[in-house]
């Protein structure tokens, strides 16, 4: 990657020149490209709606995708979108000003889903399920209005792992966020190009670039969420055995249905032994079919 000011996207202007940051940036862009290629996300000439929350993950996603497009490695049209959900005190001017300055095509949409969530969810219950459902519905609508083929989200490796364990512990199923998903209507794809990128790398990258981080004051203000509990467990495992997260993530890419218990995925009932034919002559080894 060249860092001449004339040969980088504005999103990378002012990037640290340290070897450590260069390695970090290269790793994030490489892992993003690998996910895109591995899961067949590219439809040449398609338009992608990049969902930008203002958090570290979505900034990392935005930068990595624009780096790939800048280098001619991502032949799609990119449109950044922020859904302002009406949280009190949300700094509504931060993202529009940032995107204008970075020369990133974008759309800012205001929908007061915050009031709906606060009204509908009983005191003491978590907001995440209803909040995400309302947000998803609006993003689908915006994607259709903008002629986009895909909605692109900033979920990273750790989000995927946490969701797997939440489903395991609380949902009684083996499932997580897939890197590529077709919506129920069948007209939009949902992509997660940061599937291989560690959360810690997103945090280091966004902090080093000094992107204007906007915290979530809705679900982020609640303590004791299932995801936070799972994250704490994974943190403990990682502290005791560094690299544990990556090993567990690789396991999600190495599923063996015949060694699980779901008869819908593997025909256990149809699994039959094949008798070995025994030679009549003494001393002869059995002849396999």
CATH number of 21's domain: 3.40.50.620
Q: Which residues lie closer than 8 Å to 241 by C-beta, 6 or more apart?
A: none
* More confident of the two residues 223 and 21: 21
* Separation of alpha carbons 100 and 107, rounded Å: 11
For the whole model, what pTM was predicted? 0.87
10 occurs within a structural domain: yes
Residue 265 forms part of a structural domain = no
**Predicted confidence (pLDDT) at residue 281 exceeds the cutoff of 70:** no
What is the average pLDDT value for the chain, to the nearest integer?
89
| Residue 169, domain extent | 5-259
3 state DSSP class of 287? strand
Q: Could you give the CA distance from residue 1 to residue 22 in angstroms, rounded to a whole number?
A: 9
Q: Please report whether residue 210 resides in a domain.
A: yes
Residue 16 lies in a domain: yes
158 within domain boundaries: yes
For residue 194, tell me if it sits in a domain: yes
User: Tell me: the pLDDT tens digits for 97-146?
Assistant: 999 999 999 999 998 888 888 877 877 677 777 788 888 999 999 999 99
Domain count, the chain: 1
For residue 1, what pLDDT is reported? Answer: 44
Task: Evaluate whether residue 186 is within a structural domain.
Answer: yes
pLDDT at residue 234 tops 50? yes
Residue 280 lies in a domain: no
CA dihedral 239, 241, 246, 251 (to 10 degrees): -130
DSSP state of 169: I
Task: For strands 106-110 and 150-152, give the pairing.
Answer: unpaired
What are the tens digits of pLDDT across the range 9-53? Answer: 889 988 999 999 999 999 999 999 999 999 999 999 999 999 999
């Amino acid at each position: 990657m060249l860092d001449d000011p004339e040969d980088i996207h504005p999103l990378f202007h002012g990037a640290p020149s340290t070897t450590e940051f260069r390695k970090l940036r290269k790793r994030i862009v490489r892992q993003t490209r690998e996910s895109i290629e591995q899961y067949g996300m590219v439809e040449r000439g398609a338009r992608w709606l990049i969902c930008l929350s203002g958090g570290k993950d979505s900034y990392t996603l935005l930068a990595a995708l624009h780096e790939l497009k800048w280098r001619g490695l991502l032949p799609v049209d990119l449109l950044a979108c922020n859904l302002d959900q009406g949280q009190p005190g949300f700094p509504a001017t931060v993202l529009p000003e940032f995107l204008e300055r970075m020369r990133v095509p974008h759309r800012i949409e205001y929908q007061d889903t915050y009031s709906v969530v606060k009204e509908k969810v009983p005191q003491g219950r978590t907001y995440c399920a209803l909040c995400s459902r309302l947000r998803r519905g609006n993003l689908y609508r915006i994607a259709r209005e903008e002629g986009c083929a895909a909605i692109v989200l900033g979920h990273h490796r750790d989000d995927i792992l946490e969701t797997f364990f939440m489903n395991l512990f609380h949902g009684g199923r083996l499932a997580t966020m897939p890197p590529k998903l077709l919506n129920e209507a069948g007209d939009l794809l949902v992509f997660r190009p940061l599937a291989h990128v560690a959360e810690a790398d997103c945090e280091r990258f966004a902090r080093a670039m000094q992107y204007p981080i906007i915290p979530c004051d809705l679900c982020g203000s609640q303590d004791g969420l299932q995801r936070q509990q799972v994250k704490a467990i994974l943190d403990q495992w990682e502290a005791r055995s560094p690299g544990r997260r990556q090993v567990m993530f690789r396991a999600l890419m190495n599923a063996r249905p015949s060694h699980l218990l779901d008869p819908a995925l593997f025909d256990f009932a149809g699994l039959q032994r094949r008798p070995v034919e025994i030679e009549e002559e003494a001393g002869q080894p059995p002849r396999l079919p």
